[in-house]
Structure 1
Amino acid sequence: MASIRVAPSRAQRALNLLRTVNSASSSCPCHSNPQHHHNAHHALNPFAGNRRKLATPADMSQQKEYAFEMAASSIRFGPGCTKEVGMDFKNLGAKKVMVVTDETVRQLDAMKQVQEGLDREGIPFEVFSKTRVEPKDYSIREAIDFAKPYGPDAFLAVGGGSVIDTAKLMNLYTCCPDADFLDFVNAPLGKGHPVTAKLKPLIAVPTTAGTGSETTGTAIFDLVDKKAKTGIAHRNLKPTLGICDPINTRTMPSAVHASSGLDVLCHALESWTAIPYYERTPRPSNPINRPAYQGANPISDIFSLQALRSTIQYLPRAVADPDDWEAQSNMLLAATLAGVGFGNAGVHLCHGMSYPISSQNPGYKHVGYNVTQAIIPHGVSVAVTAPAVFKFTGASNPERHLQAAEAFGVDTSQVKKESAGEVLSEALANFLVKLGDQPRGLKALGFNNGHVDMLVEGTIPQARVLMLAPNLDVSGGQEEREQLRGLFTDAMEY
């Protein structure tokens, strides 16, 4: 009598698959070599070879990550949708709203729209308009001190990244009134504690197309006594809702369009080329400790690459023609897409190196910015090192660097892999030159080789982003300093 084979049930097949995945060790050369990631093998299947056994709690610190999380604000996008914000707060049941803006935006139509919307719904609010462009720790403290006595049950940020970041921290420290300011600040400059408190609802209305702060749990500021830019990053900080109304970006001067757009460009490029999430250590012993910036992952990749392509297509148009509404709308969308991408994958060297560039400004004041103090706009400080950075990182992942170069219109069909970084570097430099009014290296900002050691020392503490940089020795020792010294030297001119 012939034997009868019974097909395994769906549950049994799933169980067998899980056993296979968790019992096999990785034979994939990409996983055994941390400098060789994101190749075509992983482009097809990002999980191929990712079969490490789960760590026991005792050895988590030595284990590489095995999971990634996606967190982003809800987004509403469309011309004119700012007028809905009053209804949003009524739907949330808000009784006292703290509106956060700056003195420039306070005079613009975006603020008129939100105030009329709140009044229409009968919702009381107070306005804080002393937000500083490129916030300092003391300007953040001033904002927090303003919010605490009012006791708001919701926040509304109307402005660029500086305003939205300030509102995030007002929310955090109003909900954690007994916390020390450094408790949540990124280590090693602060204590790096996770945010466990439930924060108040925050709605962000961006008036610039750059930071993507309306989607992320990151807030950046200068820690003055350390002469370093740092911040706080945790998913709980992200806004409840980002209202992305392209009408609100039409008031941006050309110089602000340019620098904001360069931030988008680097958000996209850095998150696209960051080390993959499964090469990051340590694996968290508790998911609450998984960082917001986790490394490149298959979902962030989609957002980052599209943001890169859109920025290359639309930023030159938005800068050249203040009446090009299509280009401006698409840049706001690109900023939001990049925010979702880097808000989960993270950024690396351009941003890590930008923080001391901004905080150690020798006196440069960017053309087109209506401020009295010396200022290197964030997008400028990030982009000025980009040609040097991507020349350096190219060897880590030639395929991805060549894909990025293709987005700039480069024919890479005959390019050798070992030239990938150089080709992307050249494409970036050409893009920046054609954009116009951009400093062609650190020398144009007033820096010289005598500043390099201080710039290096200001970069070393940026461990949160440097740990995601391909090819970089992140031990904090002499090798890392030499690599950073070489990068700053190369970035002096392009």
Structure 2
Amino acid sequence: MASRSTISRLINASQHSTCPCHGTHHAVAHPGVLNQLRLFATPVNQVQKEYAFEVAASNLRFGNGVTAEVGFDLSNMKARKVAVFTDENVAKLPPMKRALESLESQPNLPFQVLNLPAGEPTEESWADAIAWSRRHDFSHFLAVGGGSVIDTAKAANLFSAYKDAHLLDFVNAPIGKGLPITQALRPLIAVPTTAGTGSETTGTAILDITSRSFKTGIANRAMKPVLGVVDTQNTASCPTAVHISAGLDVLFHSLESYTAIPYTERTPRPANPILRPAYQGSNPVADVFSLWALQTTVKYLPRVAKNPDDEEARSQMLLASSFAGIGFGNAGVHLCHGMSYPISGLNKKGPKYKHPGYVQTHPIIPHGISVAITGPAVFQFTAPSSPDRHRQVLAIFHATTTSDPLISRIPDSEIGAHIYDMVARFLDGLGVPRGLKALGYTADDIDMLVEGTLPQRRVLDLAPGIGDIVGEDGRWHLTKMMQSSLEY
């Protein structure tokens, strides 16, 4: 673990001098540091702000063995023909067997199964799934698998309704056109087999644009599953490495949504509901789900990492994943996810890192690992924007409350340093690689990683110190955070 002095050097410019973007009086005490910084734009304070937020999530059914009910659900929905999505690994496991038995138990319920390649979806795998779905006249969709399977089923559903649309028509701007979804989609039931993405509760679908070496996606509430069937039996067969990576996604979904720009600091939403963004900024209802998911993950993820057969811990992580999905599905995520996309996407052409414990033969930085690797630096940066929220986060990691003198006596100006230390220690305890260098990246790769992050406006615009600053694209801050994430 890095020493306090090392951490202090890493955070000196942004924490002890306090970044001028965050506008606190401590910055004037260090003119030598300020002279090294570029001129900053002014905070947004002259435009009308948002006055409302919405809460949207899929229905959830949580319990032991509930996968056996999906056949009844689809029959009750009067399904005429069901598209069943899974992947080549899950196809061999008990969750898929239970789902198929449930479908077969219903008379007059025809279905067809598509076994997707194992691993994270790409534009090629999406195109194949979309073409397959378009060839059939499916009335309903069922996804049994991790976030990759569920996200692919969402895309296939969308583009089956829009038969002449191109892939980038709905992908988030500026990478794609970000067109609104105005047509009704078919009902989708999602059965997650990992405790990670929370995709069963959201309208978000992520893919790897291999031609451009980064990830992006589509975020629209029209793509939400009508039902998430969260079966506590279904994560039993996951390797430990998958449990940890998936759990890290839960951790950072909750952390980022809780610390996102408040909805009251966002510019007004369009009057037309179809045009409103899925991600709105932190808000009181999303906070409830995000904080519960954070508390649960901090408590149970280390237990799963030590003993994947711990049924209570696995069950609680599965519920935390869904809760975090509701939280970030309404509030949004920001910097860790924005920077994760080029970190994982560029790996195939760059370091070619292959994470231990994954069965794929090709290079892979699992999503949870790519998200976590910048965590200490990110929350060091965001802490000055909302010290009270970050103090709450710190209390949760310490399994205490903000009234504990251990937490309450920390000055606002030092919260970031403590967050950096605490998140780094937590990740180290889970065996997460200690920085970008451990993944094979070097200081020479920083500019490339930043360039890959800049197009991720969907999430960068929710980042305090970037999304709420007039004219701020985040390049300077992203560079500093990437540099601080090289090793810790």
Alpha-carbon shift at residue 276 of structure 1 (Å) = 0.3
Q: Distance in 1 between matches of 2:117 and 2:152?
A: 7
Matched, 1:458 2:443: no
**Percent sequence identity over matched residues?**
56
2:418 corresponds to 1:429: no
1:186 maps onto 2:172 in alignment = yes
2:245 maps to amino acid:
S
| 2:168/2:176 contact within 8 Å kept | yes
Deviation at 1:224, TM superposition (A): 2.3
The answer for the alignment partner of 2:225 in structure 1 is: 239
Indicate which of 376, 389, 402 corresponds to 1:387.
376
Q: 1:220 aligns with which of 198, 206, 220?
A: 206
Aligned counterpart in structure 2 of residue 86 of structure 1, from 52, 71, 85: 71
User: How many angstroms does 1:63 deviate by?
Assistant: 3.0
CA distance in 2, matches of 1:218, 1:349: 17
- 1:72 equivalent in structure 2: 57
| Alpha-carbon shift at residue 36 of structure 1 (Å) | 8.3
1:358 aligns with 2:344: yes
Residue deviations 1:234-279, cap 9 Å, x none?
A: 0000001000001001111110010000000000000000000111
TM-score, with structure 2 as normaliser: 0.87
Counterpart pick for 2:84 among 99, 107, 112: 99
Counterpart Cα distance in 1 of 2:167 and 2:310: 43
Q: Is the 8 A contact 1:263 1:378 kept in 2?
A: yes
Shift of 1:476: 10
Partner of 1:261: 247
What is the alpha-carbon distance in structure 2 between the residues aligned to residue 62 and residue 166 of structure 1?
38
Give the 3 Å change call, closer, same or farther, for CA 479–344 of structure 1 in structure 2: closer
Q: Is 1:143 the equivalent of 2:129?
A: yes
Is the counterpart of residue 330 in structure 1 residue 316 in structure 2? yes
Equivalence for 1:418: 413
Cα distance in 1 between the residues matched to 2:173 and 2:455 = 8
1:402 aligns with 2:391: yes
The residue aligned with 1:439 is 433
- Alignment-mate amino acid for residue 417 of structure 1: D
User: Which stretch of the first structure deviates more once superposed, 133-142 or 155-164?
Assistant: 133-142
Superposed CA offset, 1:140-175 (max 9, x none): 001111111122110000000000000000000001
RMSD: 1.8
| Aligned residues of 1:201 and 1:240 also touching (Cα < 8 A) | yes
Residues 131 and 162 of structure 1 are in contact (CA less than 8 Å); yes or no, is this contact kept in structure 2?
no
Q: 1:293 aligns with which of 262, 273, 279?
A: 279
Contact in 2 for aligned 1:188/1:463 (Cα 8 Å): yes
Equivalent pair of 1:202/1:241 in contact (CA under 8 Å): yes
- Counterpart check, 1:369 vs 2:369: no
Partners of 1:34 and 1:345 lie apart in 2 by: 22
For the pair 1:112 / 2:101, whether they are aligned, the reply is no
Contact 1:65/1:281 (<8 A) preserved: yes
SS at match of 1:229: strand
Letter in 1 for 2:415: A
Q: Does 1:485 align with 2:479?
A: yes
> How many residue pairs align between the two structures?
438
The residue that corresponds to 2:12 in the other structure is none
Separation in 2 of the partners of 1:335 and 1:105? 19
Q: Which residue of structure 2 lines up, in the alignment, with residue 270 of structure 1?
A: 256
Native 8 Å contact 2:297 2:320 kept in 1? yes
Is the CA contact (8 Å cut-off) linking 2:118 and 2:360 kept in structure 1?
Answer: no
Kept in 2: contact 1:132–1:139 (CA 8 A): no
Conserved 8 A contact 2:384-2:413: yes
Structure 1: runs of 5 or more not aligned: 1-32, 38-60
For 2:100 and 2:362, locate their aligned partners in 1 and report how far apart those are by CA, in whole Å: 30
Equivalent residue number for residue 13 of structure 2: none
Corresponding letter in the other structure for 1:112: K
- SS of 2:112's partner is strand
Question: Bigger CA drift: 467-476 or 421-430?
Answer: 467-476
Which deviates more, 277-286 or 446-455? 277-286
How far does residue 288 in structure 1 lie from its aligned partner after superposition?
A: 1.8
Aligned equivalent of 2:40: none
Tell me which residue corresponds to 1:251: 237
Letter in 1 for 2:66: C
SS in 2 for 1:232: strand
Say which SS state the counterpart of residue 225 (structure 1) adopts.
Answer: coil
Per chain length, whose mean CA-contact separation is higher, i.e. which structure has more relative contact order (CA < 8 Å, sep 6+)?
Answer: 2
CA-to-aligned-CA distance 1:286-338 (integer Å, 9 cap, x gap): 22211101000000000000100000000011111122100000000000000
- How far apart are residue 132 of structure 1 and its match? 4.3
Deviation of 1:226 (Å): 2.4
Structure-1-length-normalised TM-score: 0.86
Partner of 1:152: 138
- Report if the CA contact (8 A) 1:274-1:345 is conserved: yes
Is this contact kept in 1: 2:61–2:227, CA < 8 A? yes
Sort the Cα spacing of 1:475 and 1:306 in 2 relative to 1 into closer, same or farther, 3 A. closer
Preserved CA contact (<8 Å) 2:261 2:468 = no
The CA deviation at 1:475 is: 7.6
CA distance in 1, matches of 2:191, 2:269: 35
Whether the aligned pair in 2 keeps the contact of 1:301 and 1:341 (CA below 8 Å) is yes
